[in-house]
Amino acid sequence: MELYNNIEKIREQFPALTQRVNNRELVYFDNGATAQKPVGVINLLNEMNSGVNGNIHRAVHELSARSTILYEGARDAVKLFINAGDRGEIIFTSGTTASINLVANSYTSTFINKGDIILLTEAEHHSNLVPWQMACSRSGAELRFLPVDEQGNWRMDLLDELLDKRVKLVSAAHISNVLGIINPVKQLIDKAHSAGAKVLIDGAQGIVHTEVDVKELDCDFYVFSGHKLYGPTGTGILYGKRNLLEEMVPWMGGGDMVGSVSLEKFSFAELPLKFEAGTPNFIGAAALGEAIKFVKSIDKGFAEKHEKEIISFITRELSKIDGIRMYGLGENKISLFSFNIEGIHPSDLAILLNKMGVAVRSGMMCCEPLMSRYGVTGMVRASLAVYNTMKEAEIFIESIKRGVRMLS
């Protein structure tokens, strides 16, 4: 397969990038929220919606058979992509949030009891916090938090102390959506396992910016969303180790997740269908397979070098701005930059950037406790993807300088 090592060729695949916003060429730097879609994904969505639309698994007719092949083919693509042991370990969900909620319901109802502890970090997205708060109020378990330091790094020096025998589950982000640091998840997983705890990794950002090998990581669960990985919204993955998924009781019942059903009782279907009650987003899931094809078509060496150059340019230029405070500093960072500029409200700056065609995120970024940790009510965040260029990075920096002049 020919690998793409040319930014123009990559951009050609993304029709959304050619649009103008507020009469300017769009600079889309909100990829941490959702990424644009390549033509392979768009075409498959169109093809299925306009033709290959038969409900999966259920019928003997041609359209159902074709949908089923595409859906199950995407499952195989995900399995290979993250190096899972078998296809039964890949559960389709509607996204990271749904995957975490699935585990927070099914795993905790089977394995977590009153007095147990679930360990998170203080930098988690609300999606990796609130489901555990809900699980604790149901089970009587308690939450405990690994702090981050001023730079945004996990306080690994505190981990041994926090990981006592009461900790049964650890759930943490591979990469924080605010700090952009690639966290030492392998170290966390090994230490948690030594302490007898299972580990869920929230890979919403991690799957996009690192190569994920769940066997090598040895995580018990790894979850991510399709839409941040150039795939469709409403798609996501829960990877779980087979032995755990086998023992977990599904939290949703309905069609497709059953073996046999009588008026009084039912038996579960085999994995993975046991956790896929009802009609899934089979068209979206199939198109997630296309997104993975796109990701695999990028020359990794090229993408890494390109990302490093942009990171060093943006870091250098941002740090020259008077009154800037950047969050998430360190060597092991992705192209995601959160910051505040003294005296300027983050949303005011984001609104002005939008007027200049530059799309960034502002606000709490679904991480209110982390905002409190830094004593702020919001930040500006620029998050880049593989199709963003150095020219766009220059426009971004110039636009910030202009915005700051206008707001000062």
Interface contacts to ligand PLP, rule CB under 6 A: 33, 95-97, 125, 127-128, 173, 177, 202, 204-205, 225
Of residues 48 and 173, the one with the C-beta less far from ligand PLP: 173
Contact 223, 203 (CB under 8 A): yes
Judged by beta carbon, residue 64 or residue 94, the one nearer ligand PLP is 94
Catalytic residue chosen out of the listed positions 136, 219, 366, 367:
366
How many whole angstroms separate alpha carbon 399 and alpha carbon 5? Answer: 28
What is the closest distance, in whole angstroms, from the C-beta atom of residue 96 to ligand PLP in the complex? 4
By beta carbon distance, the residue nearest ligand PLP is 177
Question: Closest approach of Cβ 211 to ligand PLP, in Å?
Answer: 18
Active site residue 366: yes
Between 31 and 399, CB nearer to ligand PLP = 31
Candidates 104, 292, 265, 95; CA nearest to 198 is 104
396/135 Cα distance (integer angstroms) = 42
Nearest to ligand PLP of 79, 125 (CB atom) = 125
92, 96, 97, 103 alpha-carbon torsion, rounded to 10°? 60
Rounded to whole angstroms, the Cα distance separating 288 from 285 reads: 5
**Closer CB to ligand PLP, residue 108 or residue 205?**
205
Give yes or no for a contact between 325 and 340, defined as CB atoms under 8 angstroms apart.
yes
Query: In this structure, are residues 271 and 102 in contact, taking their beta carbons and an 8 Å threshold?
Result: no
* CB of 258 or CB of 371, closer to ligand PLP: 371
Tally the residues of the chain. 408
- CA 26, 32, 34: angle at the middle one, nearest 5? 70
Provide the minimum distance between the beta carbon of 149 and ligand PLP in the complex, in angstroms, as a whole number.
19
Which C-beta is closer to ligand PLP: that of 205 or that of 338?
Answer: 205
Least separation in angstroms between CB 209 and ligand PLP: 11
Closest approach of ligand PLP to the CB of residue 386, in Å: 17
Nearest to 230 by CA among 9, 6, 11: 11
**CB 173 → ligand PLP: shortest distance, Å?**
4
Of the two residues 268 and 374, which places its CB atom closer to ligand PLP in the complex?
Answer: 374
Active site residues: 366
